[in-house]
A and B are shown apart, each in its own frame.
Chain A
Amino acid sequence: MAKIINLAELDIKKAGEAIRSGQFSAHDLTEAYLEKISTRNADLNAYLEVFTDALAQADEVDRKIKAGELSGPLAGIPMAIKDNILIAGRICSSASKMLTTYHATYDATVIAKLKQGGVIFLGRTNMDEFAMGGSTENSAYGPTKNPHDLSRVSGGSSGGSASAVGGDLALVALGTDTGGSIRQPASYCGAVGLKPTYSAVSRYGAMAMASSLDQIGPIAKTIDDAELIFKTIRGQDKFDSTSTDDLATSKIPAKFKIGVPYDLLGAGVTEEVRKNFDETVELLKKQGHEIFPIEMPNLHYSLACYYILMPAEASTNLARFDGVRYGCHVDGQDMIEDYFLSRGAGFGQEVKRRIMLGTYVLSAGYYDAYYGKADALRRLIAEDYRKAFAKVDVLITPTAPSVAFPLGQNTSDPLQMYLEDIFTVPVNLAGVPALSVPTGKNGTGLPFGLQITGPHWSEDLLFALGREIVR
């Protein structure tokens, strides 16, 4: 009989110690997660596929641990992987009909690093198609539900990964974040989510959406776990020329100077989110940290800027799906009709919308007015952060303007859905790191999240302050 393991109480450290000391094996732990998945995934739809060889992976890790070949902190840790990160030989679909039967031909760099550490891959998790969305309702395979309330969204686009971690269907997970896709679902599902500094983690093997914004990062139960995964996957990689090894460690102050861009907290933020945020501010003051109101005059252009740059980049990145080299192919009368029919059948509505929007802002006559202007503004937004960090160590805001919203609430109005990204998007535009930490729950049990943002390469600061805030 399988050993009884209390998954709710586990984190990577406890699980790793238990495995290494023989209290339970990687096999036992993997089996416990598979059992949990078998009872919960039908409701949550967090996993698109549970790998049938998970137990075989665990047995191999157990063997290596016994043989002394594996001893690190990740040996035997069961993990969920967002469906846009390649694991060699396995299907990777980006939750799109375009790639229903596509098998990854190689391991993403982050996967290779985790494999080396002895991680068990439980399965691939649901997401908004090609990471386009903030609720995982744009998946071609149905929405992922929130583990704290099945009538609500998990957030997105890494909703499956967040729901799996929040619902104890995985000990930790990987997501990708282009405008908030790790932090917002982590916040909605009561998990910790890190969007690392742009270029800290190699994107080789992550399906590209907007290459000047995309980052891979962890969704975890604790800050320690997020830190451990981040430190495992980061570093320069010759297969991603944007990755660098700059591992400048920040000096952690005993008392932080914390900035709050109060102008951004006005319209659109729900009363309960604002109240929870103000409580955190009070808590930080009591702990002796100093709070400063900060003006960042260009931040309110972030969303308009983002919804020009991101679709522009996505429209070029997704040009590769042509029905010739991989994925969905629908036969037409000639070559060009093959393109039209394959892309028309393979892509979902949000993906089509963004490709066309990107094509529009890049087209002759509009390029300067839209793309040129957005690119210039992006620099001003980055400059706002640089000036802010000359005065304070970190900035805090809520991660999202509301708690997880009801399924279907924003699906008919894409603009409304886009406005949910107000706090997370400027961080990607500036390329700085941000951490979402849980800050309690509302009266109906829905989690709140706080976003801590720091200068480039300040992840250590975010973890340090996060540990004081998390509740």
Chain B
Amino acid sequence: MFTEQEIDKLAELSRIALSQEEKQKFQRDFESILGYISELKNAPVADRKLSADDHYLTNVMREDNDAFMAGANTAKILAEAPKSDDNFFVVKQILDHGEDN
């Protein structure tokens, strides 16, 4: 059973505020979805992490230089920000005044 604590933990990791109603619904939903995707546990493969040697994947490299024109869209991008000041996004202070480190 998916507990409310587990939902709270996932919401915290996901940085999403949930209503009480959503928490209850997600508990039920996750129970059935995870039940379904857990059928993979019986699948005939060993656990394997991504590796670059798979025949259908090739890596694409480029020089780290001119893919984007620096500053070309700055004004347009900043205009979409909820809060901006000069050439900066505005966020709340994350360190207390007076702290040395």
Contact surface of A with B, Cβ cutoff 8 Å: 102-103, 105-106, 238-239, 241-242, 298, 301, 303-305, 307-308, 315, 319, 322-327, 329, 334-336, 338-341, 343-345, 347, 349, 352-353, 355-357, 359-361, 363, 368-370, 372-377, 379-380, 382, 413-415, 418, 431
Contact = CB atoms under 8 A, between A and B. Distances in A.
Interface in B11-62: 11, 13-18, 22, 25-26, 29-30, 32-34, 36-41, 43, 45-50, 54, 56, 60, 62
23 contacts: A102-B80, A315-B14, A319-B15, A323-B82, A324-B91, A327-B82, A335-B91, A335-B92, A335-B93, A338-B91, A340-B15, A349-B25, A352-B22, A353-B29, A356-B7, A356-B11, A356-B16, A359-B14, A360-B34, A368-B47, A370-B40, A373-B47, A374-B40
User: What 10 A-B pairs have minimum CB-CB distances, sorted nearest first?
Assistant: A344-B17, A329-B82, A376-B48, A105-B76, A340-B17, A372-B47, A335-B92, A339-B15, A326-B80, A304-B37
Given A329-B83, A431-B56, A343 B92 contact: no
Given A340-B16, A344-B18, A356-B26, A324 B54 contact: no
B13 A375 contact: no
Contacts, number: 145
Given A352-B16, A372-B49, 6 more contacts: A241-B60, A343-B17, A355-B16, A356-B7, A377-B45, A415-B33
A335 B67 CA distance: 32
Nearest to B89: A324
Nearest to A344: B17
A307 B38 CA distance: 10
Looking at chain A's contact residues, the main secondary structure is helix
B29 to A, nearest CB: 5
A370 B37 contact: yes
Nearest to A328: B82
A374 B36 CA distance: 13
Given A304-B39, A308-B40, A377-B43, A335 B17 contact: no
B73 interface: yes
Contacts of B18: 344, 352
B26 A353 contact: yes
Interface centre among B7, B14, B80 (most CB of A within 10 A): B14
Contacts of A415: 29, 32-33, 36
B16 A369 contact: no
A382 B57 CA distance: 12
Nearest to B56: A382
Given A326-B81, A376-B45, A356 B10 contact: yes
Contacts of B73: 105-106
B80 A325 contact: yes
Nearest to A346: B16
Given A349-B25, A414-B29, A325 B45 contact: no
A368 B48 CA distance: 7
A357 B50 CA distance: 20
A376 B36 CA distance: 18
B94 interface: yes
Contacts of A315: 14
A101 to B, nearest CB: 8
Given A352-B18, A373-B41, A363 B60 contact: no
Contacts of B50: 375
Contacts of A301: 39-40, 43
Interface in B84-101: 89, 91-94
B77 interface: yes
Contacts of B46: 376
Contacts of B91: 324, 335, 338
A457 to B, nearest CB: 12
A166 B39 CA distance: 38
Contact of A379 (B13, B34, B54, B94): B54
A103 B30 contact: no
B88 to A, nearest CB: 11
Given A307-B36, A353-B29, A380-B45, A347 B16 contact: yes
Contacts of B82: 323-324, 326-327, 329
B25 to A, nearest CB: 7
A334 B96 CA distance: 12
A105 B77 contact: yes
B29 A359 contact: no
Nearest to A372: B47
Contacts of B13: 359, 363
A343 B37 contact: no
Given A307-B37, A382-B56, A373 B80 contact: no
A369 B47 contact: yes
Given A356-B16, A382-B56, A377 B40 contact: yes
